[in-house]
Amino acid sequence: MLIDTHTHLDSPKFDEDRAEVIERAREAGVHKLINIGFNRETIPTTMALAEQYTFIYAAVGWHPVDSIDMQPGDLDWIASLCDHPKVVAIGEIGLDYHWDTSPKDVQQRVFREQIQLAKQKQKPIVIHNRDAHEDVVRLLREEGAQEVGGVMHCFSGSWETAKQCLDMNFYISFGGPLTFQNARVPKEVLAHVPIDRLLIETDAPYLTPHPYRGKRNESAFVRLVANTMAELTGKSVEEIAKITTENALKCFGM
């Protein structure tokens, strides 16, 4: 039994066959999924999925690339949704210095506000970090994020960065890139992360694992990530499924 800890099944890329995609995930042994609502458009569609399916849970937050669009009432909206029984985390939040859509100072302010909200609501946080490792770690530390911890989503940083995040009560989550033949750094990080801090995810419809790279990702493919993790750690797929499921249940309080 597997848990896809980060997916976007509300994406328009699934509009024509969403029910079938969800059924394939179930058939692949995925018994719980966490769908991520990250802006004004995707938070309502994420909540709708969580309310429609008993095994789909929600994380809600404001993505850094959309920080510039966040209005004063949006943080209150996220706060109110944190009281919903299916909302298990605030995310994905963080910093993204790759896409030039929101100024860095705005991203950092919105990130800080949501860490503070997570502490108020006692919810773990799901971190999006692209080309901003140093600032992400610094802001997490300055805001006392270790109080709630959370997930470093689809981790792409170095072992040194991973260690700093582990020290702040975060889990390290691996997705499709772990399966890529040229993915040297994620594989090196995986070799050092304690087994009780490992999570798996798809980020569907993005970051599709080998051998489907270049095609649309879906939650059933989290099994491919588990297979690769098993090979790299010398454990069975069943052991990886058990370990990552227990970790996800603990991390998200499910």
246 is in an annotated binding site: no
| Residues 221, 57, 172: CA angle, nearest 5 degrees | 60
160 is in an annotated binding site: no
84 is in an annotated binding site: no
153 is in an annotated binding site: yes
- In this structure, are residues 153 and 6 in contact, taking their beta carbons and an 8 Å threshold? yes
6 is in an annotated binding site: yes
8 is in an annotated binding site: yes
* Residue numbers belonging to the annotated binding site: 6, 8, 92, 128, 153, 203
Binding site, annotated residues for a divalent metal cation: 6, 8, 92, 128, 153, 203
